[in-house]
Amino acid sequence: MSSIESDDFQSLLDASMLELQLKTEAHKAWGLGTFDRWNIDQEDGNLVFSNADGTTAVAPAQIIGSFSANDHSWLWAWDNPSIVDPLKTHSRKVKDYGEEHGIDKLTTRKWTGTEDDAWAMAALAVKLCGAEGAYRGPAGQSFVFMTFGEVKISKPSE
């Protein structure tokens, strides 16, 4: 990758992170980050946030990749056999972008980095795929990074 391409890619990452920060702030209005539990249902593709009182927030989701706190590795969803194909669409779009622009980080199935790098990959997916936002779901010593679409809130009836 030439320095111009490298600069262009860094500018895209910076713009993607800013866009994700703004979207995340807006999602706090419905409670992003405050729910008791989260779950991704690979059968229906929904990311579900829930509280003990029965309140839920549901959004269509795509898995982008996972970050391991143990070895600081990122694994793209497009090459993770535990993820069903329909939930790999956004990660594949990011890979395609990497192939078109010669960006190794987007086309290498697994690499070592930081959690900030993982957030940057999720933010890039949000930007390239027009998602509403991103979420980092804790799963033991790993984190699942996802993009999500329109959120629907439901509260239990009184």
2 or 87, greater pLDDT = 87
SS3 118: helix
Q: What angle do CA 138, 42, 143 make, to 5 degrees?
A: 15
Own/partner pairs for 36-40, CB < 8 Å, 24+ apart? 38/135, 38/137, 40/87, 40/137, 40/144, 40/146
What is the average per-residue pLDDT within 95-111? 96
Mean pLDDT of the chain: 94
- Does the pLDDT of residue 154 top 50, yes or no? yes
The per-residue pLDDT for 2 is 44
Longest dimension (CA), the chain: 61
Q: Please answer whether residues 62 and 125 qualify as being in contact, where contact means their C-beta atoms are separated by less than 8 angstroms.
A: yes
